[in-house]
Amino acid sequence: MLTPEPDNIPIYKIDMAKPAGERYIELAKDLAPQIRRVSPLLDEVIEAIFAPGALSSFAKFTSRATLRKVFDPEQTKEIKSIAKVAGIPTHRLMALNTFLDLMLGCTSGAALVRGDSKNHAGDRGPDRLLHFRTLEWGMDVLRDILVIIEYVNTSNGSNEVIARSVTYAGFVGMLTGVRKGLSVSLNFRPGHECGYGCLIKHQLAVLFGLRESVPSMLRRIILNENISTKNANAYDTKVPNPLENSEKPTFITSIAKKIASFNASPCYLTLCDGKQVVNILKDLHDGKIKTSNLFQIQCNHDPDHRRCCGRLAVRHGADPVQAKPMESEAWIEESGERQNAFHEKWIEHIRAITNGIDITWAKQNSCCTDLELDAEASKSGEIPGIDEAKLREWVATYPTTNEATHFMCIMDPLTGGIHWISRGPRYSGSF
């Protein structure tokens, strides 16, 4: 059976005005015992990839010399500080920051939700998209270091929270985050379309701190940091001027297109601004994007084009570095079950409010990257959203939330807040 977990997730304020080496001291002191328990995770991952033996022993030995930094110097200082305070070898915490996003099971998406405030006439406010998210990991020890980070910057004299992230203590990148105007989440993608050689070369460059990881990039975007690297033109995250030409791509699609062109490990990214949700199917050198004003969901598999445009997809199998620990085929099958179960709930909502009128457009999930869904676009403004309580129910229902779920949450990019967050249940016994 699934046993509910208490929701006392620690919250820490990280002041970006402080020197990098001082930002996470309080967190590292408080959670040092839990962080130390996670330390052997590197050995488990290496053995899962290489199998116990001479090769895995060599990988463990060389990791002490090779895992010394990440791409961003500020984040490197943060990681070293956490490792020192928590009392664990630096290379092990570097490993957590390098490997974590390679093996995450996730459900990400957004759904149109009814406005929850009323004006003087008693009418509700406008409907908006809320960003939902679950995160699964097979290693339960990580549950004990789950934290919420609230970023502030006191250099301007304010202690106002500028962004929030749901993450693990010691991990300084961003897997799930929100600020006013934008929310993001990262999903593991087991397949890829690029060549194995190019992918392995890229991943080694990330491993050695020569290229930026996707979680590091997402943190920069959410924090509106100035990019001073050679990739500075890859994305511009500043809030746009509303007086600029309205025919230009929206802020969120502009970011998505720039991320898609950036060299990064294959993954799925979900971005939402409250009015539009964008899904990026990211490959090494490029990516495909799909937008919606109503609903999207993405788990850990590419779209099944037989259900939408009829195209037979050709893709490579799982990255060999990821395939063993993830048991890729079973993972993809479970991903399909999670996504289809949630999607069916949305389809039932559409069927109920349209009285059985053609809802083919709703069945396509708006995530087919090879089909323009004009039918859905024509429905914008006509389809009422669901109640937020109903969305919470959908997110918390099996199999979307399951025995491997570490947390589930709903973010509101219009306000920059986390409306709801809950720990995932632990598995005990049998169903």
pLDDT tens, the chain, 431 aa long: 455 566 789 999 999 999 999 999 999 999 999 999 988 877 777 666 666 676 667 777 777 878 899 999 999 999 999 999 999 999 999 988 988 777 678 999 999 999 875 444 455 678 999 999 999 987 888 999 999 999 999 998 999 999 999 999 999 999 999 999 999 999 999 887 888 888 888 888 888 899 999 999 999 999 987 543 334 444 444 544 433 444 456 789 999 999 999 999 999 999 999 999 999 999 989 999 999 999 999 999 988 665 555 554 545 555 444 444 455 667 778 899 999 999 999 999 999 988 767 677 777 765 565 555 555 555 555 788 999 999 999 999 999 999 999 999 999 999 999 999 999 997 655 43
157: left (phi over 0), alpha (psi -120 to 50) or beta: left
Structure-token pair, residue 147? 């934290």
Burial class (CB in 10 A: 0-12, 13-18, 19+), 222: buried
Scanning the structure block, which residue is given the tokens 């993830």?
326
Structure confidence at residue 222 (pLDDT): 97
Structure confidence at residue 75 (pLDDT): 97
Structure confidence at residue 123 (pLDDT): 55
Q: What is the DSSP letter of 166?
A: E
Instruction: Give pTM, 2 decimals.
Output: 0.87
Torsion, Cα 171 173 174 175, to 10 degrees, reads -60
Cβ-proximal residues to 50 (8 Å cutoff; 6+ apart), any chain: 56, 59
Structure confidence at residue 6 (pLDDT): 60
Nearest to 138 by CA among 339, 391, 283, 334: 334
Residue 13 phi/psi, 5-degree rounding, is -90, 130
Distance CA 243, CA 346 (A): 35
Structure confidence at residue 67 (pLDDT): 87
Structure confidence at residue 49 (pLDDT): 61
How many CB atoms neighbour CB 96 within 10 A? 27
Residue 165 phi/psi, 5-degree rounding, is -140, 140
* Strand ranges in 260-404 using DSSP code E only, listed in sequence order: 267-272, 277-282, 287-292, 295-298
Distance CA 57, CA 277 (A): 44
* Strand ranges in 120-231 using DSSP code E only, listed in sequence order: 128-136, 146-152, 163-168, 176-179, 182-188
Structure confidence at residue 253 (pLDDT): 93
Structure confidence at residue 232 (pLDDT): 40
List the alpha helices (DSSP H) in 116-244.
Answer: 196-207, 214-222
Structure confidence at residue 119 (pLDDT): 44
Distance set, CA 364 to CA 268, 297, 307, 311, 393 (Å): 18, 11, 7, 13, 22
How wide is the angle at C-alpha 231 spanned by C-alphas 227 and 235, nearest 5°? 65
List the alpha helices (DSSP H) in 72-225.
Answer: 73-86, 90-99, 196-207, 214-222
How many CB atoms neighbour CB 118 within 10 A? 10
